[in-house]
Amino acid sequence: MPGAAPATVKIVRFHQTGGPEVLQLDELPLPEPAAGEVRLRIKAIGLNRAEVMFRTGRYLVEPKLPSKIGYEASGTVESVGPGVDQSWIGKTVSTVPAFPANAYGVYGEAAIVPVGAIAAYPDRLSYEEGTSIWMQYLTAYGALIQQGHAAKGDFVLITAASSSVGIAAIEIAKAEGAISIAVTRTPVKKAELLALGADYVIVTEEEDLVARVKQITSGKGARIVFDPIGGKGLESLAAAAASSGIIFEYGALASEPTPFPLFAVLGKHLTIKGYTLFEVVGDPAAFTKAKQYVFDHLAAGVFKPRIDKTFPLGRIVEAHRYMESNAQIGKIVITV
């Protein structure tokens, strides 16, 4: 109404890089979408490791302070910018990580994102499940299906297997008839990983990774290795890989130098591939195919996002602390 104070919303931003405590709820004017953009009224937000790295200044792009944050959210389209189909208004969608982390952010009560970075998801899913789809399944799909061509009988070695991406990789391997070997550090998560569909679980505190993989694969090794950790562990992964195998490195959680396992690579003709889901979302044809694959498997109930814990928006700092504890199995979700 004329003369009324502009509407405001709570948006999570950080004004300096650092630990979880730098995240704060700022009261800001309700943002308006520009050309090619939409505004979502947020219902749930999915947290990702990439956001921890972005918040601490260790990600692929530098934050522009004060910075918004966040890749994944679900909600309702309530406004569209010039050139955007009006029929999006009122639809329930979730965001796809198809935009620069330092240009947009979805932590908050409302968010602006490019229209190309929203997607419908099956009605059977809740808002919490709807925000727990695209980062994990597209990341795993691009490596295992699009590039790795996982097939029946392939051994797929999955490190950080209790992460949302790791669980998605277990589900995709199973859907394709491949044999998943999940890797976790302690025995605490072993039973749950088996319940989630892993064919084998290796607990690195108790077992030798290379010896156990050779035992499971009858000496062949894993044809596909899917690793977000890097660091010195890459040498063991190369030793556990099959001849002519491929190792996908899609993260740097180790926060240490990553030695190149030259002799293993030469001796076994290995491929070590740096990979992120931006290879998928940056290729329109591949992106469309990937979204359909994920949607169809979700609709059929073959894929089911695993929610570990939910927090309200006002406890975003606590949620990030929990993510850094590595205690979760699956997705940490913020409800709004």
188: domain CATH number is: 3.40.50.720
Question: Beta strands of the chain (E only): which ranges?
Answer: 8-14, 23-29, 37-46, 67-68, 72-80, 92-95, 110-114, 118-119, 155-158, 179-184, 200-203, 222-227, 241-249, 271-274, 307-312, 331-335
Same domain, 156 and 125: no
Q: Is the pLDDT of residue 3 over 70?
A: no
High-pLDDT (> 70) share of the chain, %: 98
pLDDT at 255: 83
Phi, psi for residue 308 in degrees, rounded to 5? -85, -50
Same domain, 264 and 158: yes
Which of the four pLDDT bands, split at 50, 70 and 90, describes residue 2?
Answer: very low
Same domain, 126 and 164: no
Same domain, 214 and 100: no
pLDDT at 6: 55
Q: Is the pLDDT of residue 85 over 80?
A: yes
Which one-letter amino acid corresponds to residue 78? E
Find out whether 181 and 157 touch, Cβ atoms under 8 Å.
yes
- How do residues 244-255 score in pLDDT, each as one tens digit? 999 999 999 998
Q: Any residues with CB less than 8 A from the CB of 256 and at least 6 apart, and which? A: 230, 231, 232
- How do residues 20-57 score in pLDDT, each as one tens digit? 999 999 999 999 999 999 999 999 999 999 999 999 99
- How do residues 316-329 score in pLDDT, each as one tens digit? 999 999 999 999 99
In a domain, 212, yes or no: yes
Same domain, 105 and 164: no
In a domain, 182, yes or no: yes
Give the global pTM. Answer: 0.94
Which residue bears the tokens 């009006």? 86
In a domain, 160, yes or no: yes
Give the alpha-carbon dihedral of 296, 301, 302, 308, to 10 degrees. Answer: 120
Which of the four pLDDT bands, split at 50, 70 and 90, describes residue 71?
Answer: very high
Same domain, 177 and 187: yes
Same domain, 142 and 205: yes
Which one-letter amino acid corresponds to residue 236? S
DSSP 159: S
Same domain, 103 and 150: no
- How do residues 219-251 score in pLDDT, each as one tens digit? 999 999 999 999 999 999 999 999 999 999 999
Domain span at residue 111? 9-133+305-335
What domain count does the chain have?
2
Mean pLDDT score of the chain:
96
Same domain, 164 and 235: yes
pLDDT at 1: 38
Q: What is the CATH number of the domain that holds 127?
A: 3.90.180.10
- How do residues 168-203 score in pLDDT, each as one tens digit? 999 999 999 999 999 999 999 999 999 999 999 999
What is the pLDDT averaged over residues 115-131? 97
Same domain, 124 and 149: no
Same domain, 28 and 59: yes
Same domain, 43 and 163: no
Which residue bears the tokens 């909600």? 75
In a domain, 290, yes or no: no
Question: Alpha-carbon torsion 328, 139, 107, 132, what sign?
Answer: negative
In a domain, 238, yes or no: yes
pLDDT at 5: 41
In a domain, 18, yes or no: yes
CA gap 130, 142 in Å, rounded: 20
